Structure 1
Amino acid sequence: MHNNNSNLLFIIPGFFFIEEYQKLLYYNDIPLGTIQLSSFLKELVKVITNIIDLRVEGEKEKELGVAKPKEDNFKKAFLKILEKNNIQDYNNIGINCYTSFQYFYTDLIAKILRKEFPKVNIIVGGYHPTGVPEDFTYKNSPYDVIIRGEAEMVLLNLLNSNKLNKIEKKKQEPLILSSDILTDINSLPFPDYELYLKRYPLKDKFKFEIYNSRGCPYQCTFCSDNYAFRTYSFEKFQENFEKLTLIVEEYNKKNPKIGFADQSFNRLSFNERILDYLIENEYNKKFVFSCQSRIETVASNIKLIDKFKKSKMIVGYGFETATNLLLREMKKTNKAVKYLEDTQRILKEYKDGSEIYCRLNILVGFPGENQKTFNDTVKFIEKYAIHEDIQISPTFFTNYPNVFVYENMDMYEKKYGTEFLKEWWKLPSNPFKNAVPTKLSHNYSLKELILDYKEKYINILKEFKRQGFAELVTWKRFYNKWYKEL
């Protein structure tokens, strides 16, 4: 047994109350932030790390993956996994509550850990603890440390200072910690893929991603990525990218894709250099790539689309809506006419029968949405975006607790008659459904929206021939069921 004072077991929570459609969306990504933390700490501290992904374990151990858990059965299954991973070797456990959808799951495993292993330090971080730390500071809270924001420097200081050995287990509230020092992202080592993949070598399933920035320079009112924006150097990108290609070739031979996980592929000169690099080094002959970008960014240099196609880069454009009202409310643009014209110009470039398609992201159900705004967006799509090389990707607005909307619900209630479920992540039912406003505007309910959504978008989605039929069936089944529940 090794010295466990500096050892850290990372746990990735699963999701309760969700359905098959959400599993398609949330169960194939590698927890990049967590394995980045692992490599960072290993480089600077004498620490041994391990990881348990309860999303994957839930596929093998039924009680960990059920929608509605029976606490005793869940506890037995969870303890079995912990024992298999030598829980006694770890004095520190870090839970990544990445999204509010995982709050219920996070809280249950933390309570089990505290009861069964009273001496262990329980550390929680992620978007939800960052946005709502008070959700983790209730009476008899099982948590010892709550990390707000970026975790690298906080964990480094905790391990270096020996503070974790001095935490009083009988204290009233957990420590809430954040770092005043931004992580120098160009100094970060390559993520610890070995830690994850030696444990979960699931060939051809994972979505492999790379960052060339952190945070986002924009202030969209629906987005939870509020970390300070800064970028990697090209040399750092190149170093990480070349290492990642070797991993993808080994683990995703049948489906060699690499996604640029940044919120927006938005620095024109830098990103054009990346595209040139992919083309010149013929990575486009081995891999397919994907990224997110903004309408105005690409419209300012429309020739960039040629390089997107040559490099096999599938771009998801954050279009969101075709209406001036909602574009302003989302803080996407104050120039709706030009925005729509730019979108048309971009979409036209994809109608030439090329091998690479694009994706047009639509945000449905934003506060203030009404039947007219919904129909105006659908009409725009039907007129300009129906094509076999344009994938329409509609998603419902999620009222995350650390976004502008959640912090200003009263304003939307007064302005539009929007109705929300406050603290929806604490309700014992599907959080993906609870996160959507129950009423969008004075005369437009959620039930009316879902009816319009499933009837209008099913025909639009069918036009994109590259989408699997099974996915479309799962999509339709989910929204039909949701409509009947309301």
Structure 2
Amino acid sequence: MPHPDRVRVLLLWPGGLFSGGKNFGVPQLLSLAAAVRASVDAVVEVVDLDLERAFGKPDLRKIFERGYDVVGISCYSSYDYLKVMAIAEQARSLLPRAWLVVGGYHPSARPHDFTATDSPFDCVVVGEGERPFTRIVKACDRGDPAPKGILGPEPVHDLGELPPLDWTLLERYRPHVRKVASQAEIYLSRGCPFGCTFCMERAKKEESWRALDPESAVEAMHRLDAFLDLSRFTLRVTDALFGLRPEWRREVLERLAARPLRARKIWLLTRLDLLERQDIELMARAHVSPGFGVESGSPAMLRTIRKSSAPEQYLDSIHRISEWALEYRVPFGINLIVGHPGETEDTLRETAQFARRLFLRAERTMGFLSVDPFRLYPGSEIDRDLPAWQARTGMRNHRYPWWQDGDQAFLSEWVDASAGLGYRATFRLKDELFSPILREIPSRFCYEGESRDYFLRAIEEQVELCSPRRRMQWLGLWHLWTGLVNESTAEQSHSAVAEDSELGSLAVQVRQSTLGEGAEPQALLAVPRERFVAPSELGDCCLNRASKLAEDSERRLLPMKSFAAMSKAIELAEGDEVVVLGDGTGYGAALCCRIVGDQGKVVCIEQDPDLASVARANLRESAHARVIEAPPGAIEHWAGARKVMVSLALAELPDSWVDALAEGGVLVAMCGNRLVLKRKALTGLPQAAPP
């Protein structure tokens, strides 16, 4: 129902890069909504674009056409930057008179990313948003001019002053939430006083740890349970640091044990050097599982990143926690980061030895492991003092600011850790040292509780990240961005791919996985398909899908199994002579060369001069292959051929091409999704080949 006399406020969550739409809650926005409604008679709506997918593809036009006076958009992390700017541009177009406000970690770290003269935003909130955002809505309600520029920080020192979250603002999603979400989120505290150098938490400008009192914290969780029924969800307490003070931590756990939630499991992040046996026993009773950001198994690196001033004792404590967790049946997670500034091969091997002792020394474990690359986050100490870190450690970031480009997930971690450990070396060592450990953990993980599937999914996701397919995708991005940054020519990029033995080895493994055992023809496994596609296609080119031939071309290389079907259809064999029409960069010809052998002959016809040039380079070592730069319909170059394969995707097969065959000759092509095979009869008339 419209409210023409009341300020209308929209709080928009743009969707998370890594969340995959699996989280319900947006407690940050609900807290803003509660603060506004406690001070202003405003109509406040909360929209979560992740959860909007329960209704189909989100339609921003329909959302903005409801009409709003103030629109607050969360830019939670730097990965959201481009998306948030695009959303804001559309909001500005559809709501030209609305006040647009942005807040979150990235605006707090880089407020001036949002204040340029052409920015769609009116103002930026730095730090915690309840007070400045409420002041903005009040100004709108009074009819004052829109505030401009940067507001904050204005931290809330007593969380008890904040009104409780009103979960009914998400009522629209409740009947459908399980379609897109398996976890619910809530905050019980704010701040972290530990000064880890890589962490973005300090971008919020307030480091002190503040929490709801224990009774209110547990009551807040029960209100969420009453609204959502958490029996089908894992509850994630998304505090930067759960339970800094032991008396608070233990009272919350005691209260949860006495008054349990219906959640399948409660998951939270804390520090391992805060916990004692009593805490693990309480977690078992409260149905809680902890995650620990250990970050490194090297004492030297732990000192460098300021994780601990007593790193040996810090690392020893996780072994005690592992034993207590096994005793009380409490599953726990450990996160390690590889490639910190100053990292060396020795410190990486030290970390791997630590992980191996922790997870593989015993036959059973309640723990599981995630291994992340170092990512250079704006707002972290390393970012704030980057020249000094570069000088001191030899680190090098290849693309900064990375959040202003696409492929942010890759670019954020494209960092040389030190003068002696480049990105590619870290990438290789991460797989060599940690993949065997990650693959062993599933068989040793012994938690058998009702949420075992939740933890196994996390374990399996880490194993999958080690797969040849995922690693090849990452190397594909490395080649793409190395070429872009260095302004490499097509020939230089092609040579770099051809000379990359690590990429080649991964590509063979992916082709084997795609094609399965006993793939025919064997040429599909032998021919390095990655050399025949655009750099942006490298990551997925060995899957059974079409791949772009060049960045500036719409032409696509047919899927591998299409070539398999075509070569089988024309009964291509050793010693044959074959023509490949419209073969782009020469992949079809390369396959045919493998099949027909040294006694056969292959003619590759390609009209695009740039693609033909790449084809010549790809076929340089095949003495029995010849590339002709001509259209496929230039039959004077191939008339009388007995076997012809078409690499182009066609709508229909021209009869003139069949007419050009020798009598008894055969021609095969993919027309749409159909394999079309035609043979020229001995009478000279074309006929369809038998099925």
Partners of 2:472 and 2:47 in 1: how far apart?
35
Taking structure 1 as reference, are residues 108 and 329 closer, same or farther at Cα in structure 2, changes over 3 Å only? same
Partners of 1:151 and 1:411 in 2: how far apart?
32
Taking structure 1 as reference, are residues 183 and 296 closer, same or farther at Cα in structure 2, changes over 3 Å only? closer
Q: How does 1:210-225 map to 2 (within 5 A)?
A: 210-225=186-201
Partners of 1:356 and 1:179 in 2: how far apart?
39
With the length of structure 2 as denominator, give the TM-score of the two structures.
0.61
Can you list the C-alpha shifts for 1:68-91, whole angstroms capped at 9, x where unaligned?
xxxxxxxxx4324433xx1x2x11
| Aligned 8 A contact 1:30 1:206 in 2 | no
Q: Does 1:483 align with 2:475?
A: yes
Corresponding letter in the other structure for 1:102: D
Structure 2 counterpart of 1:49, from 44, 47, 67? 44
Partners of 2:156 and 2:165 in 1: how far apart?
18
User: Could you tell me which residue of structure 2 aligns to residue 190 of structure 1?
Assistant: 164
Partners of 1:473 and 1:218 in 2: how far apart?
31
| Aligned 8 A contact 1:259 1:290 in 2 | yes
SS in 1 for 2:96: coil
Taking structure 1 as reference, are residues 189 and 126 closer, same or farther at Cα in structure 2, changes over 3 Å only? same
Taking structure 1 as reference, are residues 137 and 456 closer, same or farther at Cα in structure 2, changes over 3 Å only? same
Structure 2 counterpart of 1:401, from 344, 358, 378? 378
Percent identical pairs in the alignment equals: 24
Can you list the C-alpha shifts for 1:114-168, whole angstroms capped at 9, x where unaligned?
2332111111111111111110111222111111111111122222244884436
Structure 1 counterpart of 2:98, from 120, 129, 144? 120
| Aligned 8 A contact 2:6 2:43 in 1 | no
| Aligned 8 A contact 1:261 1:291 in 2 | yes
Partners of 2:302 and 2:142 in 1: how far apart?
47
Structure 1 residues not aligned, in runs of 5+: 65-76
SS in 2 for 1:222: coil
Q: Does 1:10 align with 2:11?
A: yes
Partners of 1:378 and 1:478 in 2: how far apart?
21
Corresponding letter in the other structure for 1:372: D
Q: How does 1:452-467 map to 2 (within 5 A)?
A: 452-465=429-442, 466-467=455-456
Q: How many residues align?
A: 451
Structure 2 counterpart of 1:438, from 412, 415, 420? 415
Partners of 1:184 and 1:5 in 2: how far apart?
29
Structure 2 residues not aligned, in runs of 5+: 443-454, 479-691
Give the C-alpha shift of residue 333 in structure 1: 1.2
Give the C-alpha shift of residue 271 in structure 1: 0.7
SS in 2 for 1:467: helix
Structure 2 counterpart of 1:92, from 61, 70, 87? 70
Structure 1 counterpart of 2:304, from 299, 308, 329? 329
Which deviates further from its counterpart, 49-58 or 104-113? 49-58
How large is the Cα RMSD of the aligned pairs?
2.5
Give the C-alpha shift of residue 180 in structure 1: 4.2
SS in 2 for 1:444: coil
User: Could you tell me which residue of structure 2 aligns to residue 133 of structure 1?
Assistant: 111
Structure 1 counterpart of 2:316, from 330, 341, 345? 341
Taking structure 1 as reference, are residues 181 and 149 closer, same or farther at Cα in structure 2, changes over 3 Å only? closer
Corresponding letter in the other structure for 2:137: L
Corresponding letter in the other structure for 1:43: A
Partners of 1:157 and 1:188 in 2: how far apart?
15
Partners of 2:103 and 2:263 in 1: how far apart?
36
Structure 1 counterpart of 2:64, from 82, 86, 91? 82
Can you list the C-alpha shifts for 1:264-313, whole angstroms capped at 9, x where unaligned?
222111111111112223x1776421221212211xx3332222222221
Which deviates further from its counterpart, 131-140 or 2-11? 2-11
Partners of 1:163 and 1:285 in 2: how far apart?
41
Partners of 1:35 and 1:180 in 2: how far apart?
18
User: Could you tell me which residue of structure 2 aligns to residue 70 of structure 1?
Assistant: none
| Aligned 8 A contact 1:104 1:426 in 2 | yes
Structure 2 counterpart of 1:415, from 368, 371, 392? 392
Partners of 1:408 and 1:28 in 2: how far apart?
34
Q: How does 1:468-479 map to 2 (within 5 A)?
A: 468=457, 471-472=461-462, 474-475=464-465, 476=467, 477-479=469-471
Can you list the C-alpha shifts for 1:403-446, whole angstroms capped at 9, x where unaligned?
1111111112111211113211001x221211114211112111
SS in 1 for 2:294: strand
Partners of 2:90 and 2:186 in 1: how far apart?
34
Partners of 2:314 and 2:279 in 1: how far apart?
18
Q: How does 1:55-70 map to 2 (within 5 A)?
A: 55-57=50-52, 62=57
Structure 2 counterpart of 1:38, from 33, 36, 49? 33
